Structure 1
C-alpha cells in the first residue's frame, strides 16, 4: 500500500476522506512548508500528493517518486510543477480552476480600492496617533468611478474583475494573447495593444498567469509608458513583473502607487524596498482566501485524488 502525502494542515473532514482510501502522511502545519528533505523522503512511497504552490515539483522530486500517480495542486496556476516531465513519468497533474474565480476577483477590486483610496495608509495614520485635525486634501486618493481601467489577462478572473468594475461605470480596456468577443459584448471591454493599455489606463490590473510570453512583461520600458498618475495592481503571478523595474518606477514617480497580492519571492524578503513605500499595499497571496472557496479548492484536490487512484479521469486535469 502506498501513501497520500498532504503538505499542509487541512481540516479533518478532508483528511478523513483520503484516509478512507489510503494511508495519509500529513505535514501538520498550516503555515510552514514541508521541508524539502522530508518531502522528497515522503515521495518515495507516495501514490498521490496534495501540494500547494510552495512545493516545487521538478526532476529531483519526480525521480524520488517511483509510485506517484497524481499531483493535486491547490491552485489554478501550476508554474511550480514541471508538467511535461510529470506527464513523461505518467503522472497526472490537476489544479483548482473555476472555484476561486469570483473570490480572487473580489480581492483584486478590494486591493484596487485600498490603494486608490489610501485605506492602509489612512489606518496607519489613525493608529499612530496622527489624526489631530482635518485638511481639505488629507489622504486624498483616486476615483475608480468612470476611470479608464486596463486589464492584462482577460481570462475567467479578468472577466470577473471587469464585471465588478462595471458597477463603477469604469471604461474597460484589455490586452490578451487573443481577443474575447464574449467579454467585449457582455462588458463593453475594448481590446487594445499592450502599448495602448499602458499609455491610456488610469488603473492597470494584471490577472495573467505566468508563461514564457508573460514573464517580466511589466519591465522598465512598460512602466515608463504608463501614466504618472496611474495605479498598478497585480493579482496574477509575481514573475510577470520585473520587480526592480517596479521599484524604480515608484521611486522615480513614473507611476502613482501599486497593490500586490503576488511577488517574485514568497514569502517576501523583509529587506524588500517595497515594504518601506507608503504608496504600496502588499497582501500575502490571499486572492482565493475565503473560507468557502478554500474549502472548495481542498475538496476538488481530494476528489481528483480519489478519482485517479480509482483508475478514473480527474475532474480538472492540467494538459501539457
Structure 2
C-alpha cells in the first residue's frame, strides 16, 4: 500500500486518478506516512469485499492534503464500496482514520464515501480541518467566522457505521449523511460527544433518510455537540438511543441576537425510546411532521427540550408516552 500511495501522489500532480481496489484485505502501513496529496480528483473503487485494515494502530491514519495547484479548483476524494476496519488511536484525539486539511482559501473540496462500511474503529472516522474561512473582527469584540460558501463538503451515502467510538469532528464545512445506518456508536471519555462535534459559524450537518438504532452511550456526554452550526434531520429514525448525559443534542449558538442563531430542523422523523432531545441555549428549533414516542428522562430537566432564550416552532407532531 505504501508504494501505491507514492504512485498515486505522483500521478495526481497532473491528472485525475482512478484506483481499482479488488476484493481482499489491504493492510494499511503503520509507519505514520500515509499522506495523500489531492491535486486533482482521486477515486478508490472497491468491489464487494474490499477492506482497508488499519491493523489496530494509530499510525495507519490517512492524512489527506487537498493541495494547491494541479490545475483543478474543484478537488474531490471519493471512496466507493470500501470497508474501513480496525483502527485504534489509543486515546490520542489527534490520530484518526482520516484527517483532511487544505492549502488554498478559494478552491472547493469534496470528500465522498459511497456504500462504505466503518467497522470496529476506535477513533474519529473523519476529522475535517479546513482553512477556507476568513475571520472578521468587529469593534464590539464579537468574533465571527464565515465560511467561504461550499468550500468543503463531506458526503456519506448508503454507508454503514457499526461499533465505532465516534463519527467525526467538523471544524469548518458541511457534512451530509444520506441513507446511512448507525448502530453501537458508544463514545469515549476523550471526546466531548459520541457522534459529531462542530464549532464554527455556518457549519452545517444533515441527516437524510437515515437510521440510528441501538446506540447506548454510557458516558455523561451527548450524541451531538454543535455550536453555531445548523443541523437538519429529515426522514430519519432514532430508536433506542440513550446517553447517560440524559440528552442527545447539545446545541448552542452564542448569538447576540436570536435571529442570527443557526437552526435545528427536524422534519418527517421518528424518535422512539430516546433520551431528552435538546439541551442548549439561544437556538431556533423547527419540528414538523414528526413523532416522539417512549421518551424517558432520568435527570431533573425538561423531557423534550431544555433550550432557553430560544425560538421553538412545532407543527403537526405527535408526542406519546413521555415520562
Please give the range of the TM-score, normalised by the shorter of the 2 chains: under 0.3
TM-score of the superposed pair, with normalisation by structure 2: 0.23
Q: Which has the higher helix share?
A: 1
Which structure would you say has the larger RCO, counting Cα contacts within 8 Å and 6 or more residues apart?
A: 1
Q: Which of 1 and 2 has greater Rg? A: 1
